[in-house]
Amino acid sequence: MTKEELNIEIEKLKVSLEAHEEQVKDLSHDLNTAKQRLEDVNKPKLTNKQFSKLHEVIENTLENFDFSNCNSYEPEFEMDYDGKVGLAHITFDGADDLANELIENVESLFGVTDESDDDDESPSE
């Protein structure tokens, strides 16, 4: 083969490789979509209205939570070389309180049913 024929062959292989890369990307995307659908198949379904109410409850809980409560934070101070004291780090310790408040508000929005241990299906199915 001549140099020109080899260059042409290389270009053909590059084009073929690029086409197959696109196919692999498409197949990978399809695989990820199928995996997500498999994960979602047994999840309980919410209507748009229910989801909007859930969103509203979460938003309201976060807006009404008292983030200004000083007991919810653990500050860590440092002293600079020039003798100035500064706040090096602050940790929010109110996450449990926030989570409990959020859970209570979500529970008040929906009815919770008891399911038997051997039944994994939701009562609405």
Encode pLDDT of 95-116 as tens digits. 888 899 998 888 888 777 777 6
> For the chain, which residues make up each domain, given as ranges?
1-43, 45-111
Instruction: Give the pLDDT of residue 110.
Output: 78
Least confident of 40-54, 86-100, 101-115: 101-115
- What mean pLDDT do residues 53-82 have? 88
Residue 26, classified by CB atoms within 10 Å of its CB into exposed (0-12), middle (13-18) or buried (19+), is exposed
Whether 125 shows a pLDDT value over 50: the answer reads: no
Instruction: Give the position of tokens 């409560």.
Output: 69
Instruction: Give the pLDDT of residue 111.
Output: 74
Q: What does the block give as tokens for 3?
A: 């140099």
Give 55's pLDDT tier (boundaries 50, 70, 90). very high
Is pTM beyond 0.75? Reply is no
Q: What does the block give as tokens for 98?
A: 């926030």
Whether 78 shows a pLDDT value over 90: the answer reads: yes
Whether 37 shows a pLDDT value over 60: the answer reads: yes
Give the C-alpha separation, 44 to 125, whole Å: 9
Whether 39 shows a pLDDT value over 60: the answer reads: yes
